[in-house]
Amino acid sequence: MLSPVNPPRRIAHLDMDAFYASVELLRYPQLKGLPVVIGGGRRRLDDALREHHADLPLHEIPVAAFPVLKDYTGRGVITTATYAARQFGVGSAMGMMKAARLCPQAILLPVDFDEYRRYSRRFKAVITDIAPVMEDRGVDEVYIDFTAVPGGQREGGRVLARLIQKSIFDATGLTCSVGVAPNKLLAKMASEFNKPNGISIVQPDDLQTLIWPLACRKINGVGPKAEEKLAAHGIRTIGELAARERDWLVSTFGRSYGAWLHDAAWGRDERAVVTESEPVSISRETTFERDLHAVRDKAELGAIFTRLCEQLAADLARKGYRGKTIGIKLRYDNFQSVTRDQTIDHAVQDAATLRRVAGQCLKRVDLSRRLRLLGVRVGSLTPVEAGVPLPSAPVAADFERKVQAPSVKRSSSAIKKQLVSGSLF
Ligand code: DCP
Ligand code: MG
């Protein structure tokens, strides 16, 4: 039998369905099919729930005992919602008070990052057992190179996608959606076509029918600002973008971004699936429960600032990096953000130095307005050589619930973000 010498490139993008919520439903299967949102303080809520029903296994706690959105007050934000809740217009990044108006009966569960990370590792291990060339793109999504994997070319990749979907479900009880296309850019769009639990195949000939009718925003790398600027020129769909001359896009959007927009609209993307990538920065940030003022809330703010630096130092130690560029990010009560950073002459990872340098950055911003958010970031990272003992950094457990999981920025996404927003923080 003849096999093709150069099989066409087939790249998959796999994204878990309603990830945080689906992991919670494994614990509380009695909530299946109901509107459920995930957000708010870490585990506080259902600790109370469990204490009340200490005599029952988790899956037998009556549905009526769960907290619902209408009883929520605060400024928490929803991380994700089950598909049943999405029918009410509730979704990621929405304030919980607003969500409560749309779907007061939705059940509210707190986030449990450790559990989501555990499931993240599990589903990724299932994938690499079947298809070893996988690029980790965050807690619930990956790219997979199907090109040379058995089944990766059959039915455009559908056969292998089906096998991976089933294997993940068997190992974890979780569903995912997969897009298979000639490259990452198209695969990323395709994985959204049939959510949840769907598979979508895009072939080179499908560009005009499947991709061009979509809004430009569906291109991963076209953010709200670029979308707005495109719309101002009457460009709403990817087809309309493809119809513009490359030269015009370059002169309007700059050499690099303009050329990239043109390629993206024509479905061109040569990026490889990268199995390991070095982070360019690691950061921690937190949104306060109430806006804080640098002078009037000095003690509280100072404690939060120190805690962030300690957690960041612990992240650096755990991941094995030191960094030379230390920066801060602030968001004011009017949602405006500012960043400042400073590069020192040697790479560090200890909390005290992070705190000192970040403190100097803080002196360079306007502190007369109230603050919503504070973040600390370390960039210009270098890996710490294996075998060199590291000083251990204190980790503050009581603060964990308010601070988000560490955010690790890897090279390609950092560059893309810089292109879109003009900022590297
Ligand atoms: N997430 C978050 N804040 C956001 C968006 C997402 O905390 N603004 C978290 C919760 C999600 C997870 O990241 O479960 C993955 O994000 P996705 O965008 O993939 O959303 P879901 O997996 O929840 O839903 P979908 O089925 O649409 O992929
Ligand atoms: Mg997802």
Residue 425 clears pLDDT 80, i.e. is over it: no
Determine the pLDDT at residue 3. 57
pTM: 0.70
Question: For residue 12, what are the β-bridge partners?
Answer: 144, 180
Q: What would the mean pLDDT of 246-261 be, rounded to a whole number?
A: 94
Which pLDDT does position 401 carry in this prediction?
30
Q: Which residues line ligand 1 (CB under 6 A)?
A: 15-20, 79-80, 92-93, 139-140, 195-196
Q: Looking at the predicted structure, is the pLDDT value of residue 212 above 60?
A: yes
Q: Would you call 179 helix, strand, or coil by DSSP?
A: strand
Which is nearest to 88 in space by CA: 36, 39, 18? 36
Tell me the pLDDT band of 63, cut-offs 50, 70 and 90: very high
pLDDT by residue (tens digit) across 190-210?
999 999 999 999 999 999 999
- The values of phi and psi at residue 197, to 5°, are 55, 40
Our CA dihedral for 28, 54, 99, 189, rounded to 10 degrees, sits at -30
Comparing 272-281, 298-307, 311-320, 353-362, the range with the smallest average pLDDT is: 272-281
CA 140 to ligand 1: nearest atom: 15
Q: Give catalytic residue positions.
A: 141
Candidates 22, 77, 120, 140: which one to mutate for ligand 1, based on the most atoms within 8 Å of Cβ? 140
Ligand nearest to the CA of 83: 1
Q: Report which of residues 393 and 84 the model is more confident about.
A: 84
State how far the Cα of 187 lies from the Cα of 190, in Å rounded to an integer. Answer: 5
Cα-to-centroid distance, 17 and ligand 1 (Å): 8
Report d(CA 227, CA 225) in Å as an integer: 5
Measured by CA distance, the residue closest to atom 26 of ligand 1 is 17
